[in-house]
Amino acid sequence: MIREITPEDFDGLMRLYTQLHGNPLPEKTPEVLSLWNNILADKNHHIIVAEENGQIASSCVCVIVPNLTHAQRPYALIENVVTDEKHRKKGLATACLDYAKALAEKENCYKMMLLTGSKEEATLNFYRKAGYNSSDKTAFIQWLNP
């Protein structure tokens, strides 16, 4: 089942995120829970999950960014694409990205963007197959407070 996150999904999402760049499991501090609640309340911030057997198996984030150019049409940013290692190669991440695309189309976005740090050809081909290209724009990153 592909759906948007619910308040009850915090623990499952955080467990999945430990597989994203070795992210540590955060403590449920008041600051972390406040951040969680702010994300849930933000109408432009969408955490999309694929659920299998009651567990979150894959996810991506889609943020709709209001915009004053391109006829005031927003754009979408995709981030934190991850699938549990036991559930890979089943099309779950593709389904999450398809859900994000449908959401962006519904919001009249003129484009979607994502960045990946991966240099693995299989990962790059996954994104190409999902409809993204690496030839239209050049991405630059500036890391802040590493």
For domain 2-129, the CATH superfamily is Gcn5-related N-acetyltransferase (GNAT) (3.40.630.30)
What's CA 64's distance to the chain center, in Å?
A: 11
User: How is the chain split into domains, by residue range?
Assistant: 2-129
* Partners of 55 in beta bridges: 52
pLDDT in tens, 76-128: 999 999 999 999 999 999 999 999 999 999 999 999 999 998 899 999 999 99
Q: How far apart are CA 80 and CA 11, in angstroms?
A: 16
Number of Cα atoms under 13 Å in the Cβ half of residue 66? 3
144 contacts: CB under 8 Å, gap ≥ 6: none
pLDDT in tens, 56-78: 999 999 999 999 999 999 999 99
